[in-house]
Amino acid sequence: MTPLKQNLAIDCGSYKTIICNEAGDKVLDELSLAYVYPNDNDAAFFGTAARLTHGKGWCIAPLMEESSENERYAKRMLPFFVDKAAGKVLGLFKPRIKVVVCALPLGQDAAIIREMAASIKADELVFIDQPIAAARGLGLDVTSTEGKMILDIGHKTTDIAVISNGRIIASSSIPIAGHRFTEDIKQYLEEQCGIIVGERTASRVKYEVGAAITDLPQGQIPDKFYVRGSNMERTDWQEGYVGHEQIASALDHSLSEIESEAVKILKEIPQTLYEDISRTGICLVGGSSLLRGIHRRFSDRIGIMVGNAEEPSSIIARGASTIPGLM
């Protein structure tokens, strides 16, 4: 029987929404998408199903750009996901819910997510700083005075935070992350290979041969990936193969900007916290942290060991489910 109250921890990101139960198990993993029909205020589908839908409408990512239309669909998207995760119609009970809200918002993201959460009409909502949730998901003691650095590469932004004694001591958010990586690949293929591709093809290239360094270990080198797109005049098809070395070159500038921002934060914090982080390392999380060789590159460029997390995209929701007081 479904309990009258369910505890759910939610990480609502611009690319994916992930929901975990109180045991830390992932119960929902959906793309943050809505399929919209023209001249219709109602979205027919949300989540991964929206990408697979074909018809007279189109697919939007409500949390990627600020607009009144996106905000309207965003407010309908989260209740849909909670309904699906809880396995019950919302009108029959009010699940107790934890919502992870980024403490380092670019624009009005945090406010929009708060309004989305309010539309669930749950009997209790708790908003948690995203870096704190990430640290807990990694199994770190966030109440310790020891400094910890979280580097979260998401889809829209990279969020960097230093935590000590249960508080965020220093933080920064820059609009360079997975979406920018995809745009970098599109630009590289067009300028260097003469192949014009769309976002979906560029994302596939990133997944198949994405890398942050050219000298990957032998066992990690992916096969070259076949790419087919338009020629520069858009009069015919253009095709070719692309390897990880080319993608590492395409992403070099964006990765350098992330590294520079991390170094900037490290220079701002007290020496004691810097020494803590130098000793224990930087924790890398987020779905876009899966680029091959990214930990090695960051370790070399930042000068501090950067460690990888298991299932980095679900760390935040899992961490939120461990916050005491609700669960």
Interior CA angle at 86 toward 154 and 287, to 5°? 15
Element (H or E) spanning 127, and its range? strand 125-129
Q: Which residues of 257-267 are buried (b: 16+ CB within 10 A; e: fewer)?
A: ebbebbeebbe
**Which single residue is written with the structure tokens 């520079």?**
260
Pick the CATH number of 143-308 from 3.30.420.40, 3.30.360.10, 3.30.43.10, 3.40.50.1860: 3.30.420.40
Query: Which ranges of the chain does DSSP label H, i.e. alpha helix?
Result: 48-52, 68-86, 109-118, 130-137, 178-193, 199-209, 244-268, 271-280, 294-302, 315-320
Residue-wise pLDDT tens digits, 131-167: 999 999 999 999 999 999 999 999 999 999 999 999 9
pLDDT of residue 107: 45
Determine the topology of domain 7-133+316-320 in CATH.
Nucleotidyltransferase; domain 5 (3.30.420)
Which has more confidence, 110 or 320? 320
pLDDT of residue 4: 52
pLDDT of residue 102: 52
Q: Where are the domains of the chain?
A: 7-133+316-320, 143-308
Residue-wise pLDDT tens digits, 2-31: 455 677 888 988 889 999 888 888 989 999
Overall average pLDDT of the 66-76 stretch:
80
Residue-wise pLDDT tens digits, 274-325: 999 999 999 999 989 999 999 999 999 999 999 988 888 889 999 988 876 5
Asked if the domains 7-133+316-320 and 143-308 are classified in one and the same CATH topology, the answer is yes
Distance separating alpha carbons of residues 132 and 274, to the nearest angstrom: 18
pTM of the model: 0.88
